[in-house]
Amino acid sequence: MGELLFVNGPVQNGDFTFADRPGKATGIRITAALNHLIGTTPVPHAWNTVTLAGDLRHRQHAATSARPTARADFEVSLIAAKYGDCPPAPGYVTDADPAVARLALEMTEALLRAGKLSLSREQIRSCARCGHMAGTGSHPCKVCGSTVTRAKALGVLIADRVGGRPLLGVDDVHAYRKRAPVHLRNIAGNVPARLVLARTRDHGISLEPLGLPGLVLDPRAGLHIAALSVAVARGADTAVMVLTPNAAANIAAYGQSFLCHDGTRLLYGLHGHIPYEELLSLEGHYGRYRFTPALQQAFETWFLPLYAWHAKNNIAQGELPNLLKHFHRARLTACEAADAQALQRLRNTVIAGGTDWLTNRSGLSAALTARSLSQPGGALS
């Protein structure tokens, strides 16, 4: 088996900070922890910048600034601000980066040649005032607020659903082999048989080279390609894109055609939510276990994300004290000396998608040993 690496499902570059919304970093933290456990060098953090909200924010910026920043630089400056003085060492990748766009066009052209995607003139409903593609349903235009739409023939990129293939197959999901993601299939299956993969956006992967000026690749497809591009750049065989089941269900239909390229494969890796807003309830427990700030941080930003990876579903507030006790006991048995065999076993388990090691003391203890070896000063005491 070739190299496998984990990539976070691109985080929407919205108006938030990691301090306000720590849950936004969960995918990034899981990815960093798992890549470290399997001995892979850190991968860039992935960001989703091709959003309508981003278009509107940039238009506002351009209208009110004497020297407006170009959109790509504007997005990067907003991402950089989220990290403050601690930018990620491996950098970041956005879903509109030139390398991602190149890969997207290469994949799209190959899929067109193979007849798996097509270019077609379709009756597309757009806003009568500003031309924004309206999508389904009757709601005011999300750009200008106009309620008048009109259908007109427009050249677009089309994916026809492959008959008989579930949109989100168990084989597409890493570490989910025991429990078929039925509810995911139901959500992801609720999409039309003909998918339009083009959107009106100011920013993104332009489809002009395919003869579709003014349109970009649907960002839900682009997110898959952004994650895949990280593995392609590394020459890895498999990228596991780490995201919540809901996020996966929302984008799976659009990514169906983009799950492999030239022997590199993209899998979904699912995780649940962490009740960060409830962590204050643990204050007394931290004191009782004599946790240092470093230990508390290891529990909140390393163990809990990994546990959310194991649980797949959301972690309930009521589980937190027991999880803390489990973490506490495992760290007491973690040692400074590495057991090379135990670490290798753990590495193989993680690569194969196993997560049960997080629930037993010896498995978690081995992972904590691996973690502390790379942390000068040791986070265990």
- State in angstroms the smallest separation of the CB of 155 from Zn ion: 20
Which lies closer to Zn ion via its Cβ, residue 136 or residue 374? 136
Indicate the residue among 52 and 112 with the shorter CB distance to Zn ion.
52
Structure-token pair, residue 196: 């339009």
What does the per-residue mask of binding to Zn ion show for 117-156, with x meaning CB under 5 A? ----------x-xx-x--------x-xx-x----------
192 touches 60 (CB < 8 A): no
Contact call for residues 75 and 50 (beta carbons, < 8 A):
no
C-alpha to C-alpha distance for 91 and 318, rounded to whole angstroms = 36
Q: Looking at beta carbons only, is 129 or 265 nearer to Zn ion?
A: 129
- Our CB check for Zn ion shows the closer of 196 and 266 to be 196
What DSSP letter does each residue of 66-120 carry, written as one string? SSPPPHHHHHHHHHHHHHTT---TT-EEETT-HHHHHHHHHHHHHHHHTTSEEEE
* Beta carbon nearer to Zn ion, 134 or 364: 134
Tell me whether residue 148 or residue 316 sits nearer to Zn ion (CB atom): 148
Q: How far is the CB of 140 from Zn ion (least distance, A)?
A: 8
Other Cβ atoms less than 10 A from the Cβ of 289: the count is 18
CA 241 to chain CA centroid, nearest Å: 6
Query: Closest CB to Zn ion among 135 and 192?
Result: 135
Tokens of 367: 């992972």
Residue 55 C-beta: closest distance to Zn ion, Å? 12
- The least CB distance from residue 144 to Zn ion, in Å, is 3
What are the tokens at 120?
């077609």
CB 148 to Zn ion: min, Å = 9
Nearest alpha carbon to residue 232 among 100, 89, 49: 100
Size of the site for Zn ion (CB under 5 A): 8
- Which amino acid, 221? A
Please state the closest distance from residue 214 (CB atom) to Zn ion, in A. Answer: 14
- Output the CA torsion 208→7→253→306 (10° steps): -160
Q: In angstroms, rounded to a whole number, what is the distance separating the alpha carbons of residues 141 and 79?
A: 28
Cβ-contact 379, 295 below 8 angstroms: yes
State the DSSP H helix or E strand holding residue 330, giving kind and residue range, or none if neither: helix 320-333
Minimal distance, residue 254 CB to Zn ion, in Å: 23
What is the binding site for Zn ion (CB under 5 A)?
127, 129-130, 132, 141, 143-144, 146
